Chains A and B, each alone.
Chain A
Amino acid sequence: MNLFEHVGKFSRFLLLVLSKPEKEKLFFSQIVKEIHKLGINSIGIVVIISLFMGAVIALQTAYNMLNPLLPDYLVGYTTRESMLLEFSSTIVGLILAGKVGSNIASEIGSMRVTEQIDALEIMGINSANHLILPKIVAALFINPFLYVLSVFVGILGGLSAGYLTSTVPISEFIYGIQYGFIPYYITYSLIKTAVFAFIITAVPSYYGYYVKGGALEVGKASTKAVVNSSILILLSNVILTQILLK
């Protein structure tokens, strides 16, 4: 199947997904379940990765500032800017594309090959809408919180690393994270996070929903979902950055 066929099929798939839910009460309860499954269960990995990445960014900045004219607070400033602009939105997005994306593709794919999706269809239920819309809405809701958490934990990691290795005084680091702050960067990153949340849920759902065959094909669909959603995240990152920071 070529790219244009995929685009057409994905558009038709989205039309099915983005229709009105059958039962609103059931829809909202599913959203809560998905928030737990996709968001709350990802807090651990987001915290661990953000903490260590924040620490590494701070240490690398500190050890690469050979010029004595560069102020110490630059370490805090660089850590904040890296976490705020790129790491907490894009890198966390890529990590979630792997964790959540493979989970969604294999879940929906398994439902397809074990006829569970057919069972929904035979009942007259729009299976794409019933299974996938709650995931998209849940990710759009919870991922911005994960982004904010990642920024805070990353900066905390940088602060801790600077203090524990005695490379940056705490007061300098704290001054750095407040220096030259541009609030719009948060808006920019939250927009990116929302777009990535959509990609992380919609693309793997698409690959899982149209899987044919058995367990082997579900595995292949899961791999394709992760690879293609990662590529789309990187591509949309460039496009959004050009549009929003121009």
Chain B
Amino acid sequence: MHDIDDGAIYYNDRNFTELNRNGKKEIRKEMGMVFQGGALFDSLNVEENVKFPLDMFSSMSEKEKNKRVAFCLDRVNIHNANHLYPAEISGGMQKRVAIARAIALNPKYLFCDEPNSGLDPVTAIVIDNLIQEITKEFNMTTIINTHDMNSVMEIGEKILFISKGFKAWEGNKDQIFNTDNQALNDFVFASDLFKNIKKST
């Protein structure tokens, strides 16, 4: 989405920054993205939103596309909402439709930007678990950008802590509690709840 200022980006040994638009398009087909606000297309209903990447990039017949849409929506537990527009469904449903759209083309990589922001804790866990299940089921690599430590501790396998634009720490969820990285400790144990948890452990 943004041009780089310096350096290069490599994707499977291919220099992404030197690729032309078509080359980048081919790579982007292998990626799915779930945006913070869902970023569903307002003018399309739920079914059309999920079908959109198939319309644009697949050579499937209409029947195959409808079958794939039905599968993706069923996989994220969206039922009887095919003809509703994004404004007519809840935030949690919007996130699930966004996930369905992101997996429609069977991506190798799924990027999620704050997937459970603005959701209540129960729905947030539902979304976290859904992402985790889909990641395993579709054999994808999922990269989640989040500030939600509940989410990190729930589904994070490999965790990178970014502070002020740079990688400040790397590890897994078991190592977080014992780290001596000050920036990470200040972030994770900012709330009294987490401070108490740390004391008790």
Partner-B contacts on A (CB < 8 A): 22-23, 26, 110-111, 114-116, 118-119, 121-126
Contacts and interface: CB of A to CB of B under 8 A. Distances in A.
Given A23-B55, A26-B55, A116-B42, A124 B37 contact: no
Nearest to B111: A122
A26 to B, nearest CB: 6
A115 B36 contact: yes
B118 to A, nearest CB: 13
A111 B39 CA distance: 8
Contacts of A118: 1, 35, 39
B25 interface: yes
Contacts of A122: 1, 28, 31, 33, 111
B190 interface: no
A115 B37 contact: yes
A22 B29 CA distance: 14
B55 A115 contact: no
Contacts of B26: 124
A119 B56 contact: no
B28 A124 contact: yes
Nearest to B27: A124
Given A22-B56, A116-B40, A124-B28, 11 more contacts: A23-B56, A110-B42, A111-B42, A115-B37, A116-B39, A119-B33, A122-B31, A123-B28, A124-B24, A124-B25, A124-B29
B156 interface: no
B1 A125 contact: no
Centre residue among A22, A23, A110, A119 by max chain B CB count within 10 A: A119
A121 B25 CA distance: 9
Contacts of A126: 21
A114 B37 contact: yes
Contact of B39 (A22, A26, A114, A124): A114
Contacts of B56: 22-23, 26, 123, 125
B33 A116 contact: no
A22 B28 CA distance: 15
Centre residue among B27, B31, B33 by max chain A CB count within 10 A: B33
Interface in B78-106: none
Contact of B35 (A22, A110, A119, A124): A119
Nearest to B44: A116
A115 B42 contact: no
B189 interface: no
B41 interface: yes
Contacts of A110: 42
B3 to A, nearest CB: 12
B42 A121 contact: no
A236 to B, nearest CB: 30
A88 B113 CA distance: 49
A60 B25 CA distance: 61
B53 A115 contact: no
A118 B57 CA distance: 17
Contacts of A23: 55-56
A246 to B, nearest CB: 43
Contacts of A119: 33, 35, 39, 41
Given A122-B31, A123-B28, A124-B28, A116 B41 contact: yes
Contacts of B28: 122-124
Interface in B20-76: 21, 24-29, 31, 33, 35-37, 39-42, 53, 55-57
A123 B53 contact: yes
Contacts of A111: 41-42
Nearest to A22: B56
A125 B39 CA distance: 15
Contacts of B37: 114-115
Centre residue among A22, A26, A115, A126 by max chain B CB count within 10 A: A115
14 contacts: A111-B41, A114-B39, A114-B42, A115-B35, A116-B39, A116-B42, A118-B39, A119-B39, A122-B31, A123-B53, A123-B56, A123-B57, A124-B25, A124-B28
A126 to B, nearest CB: 7
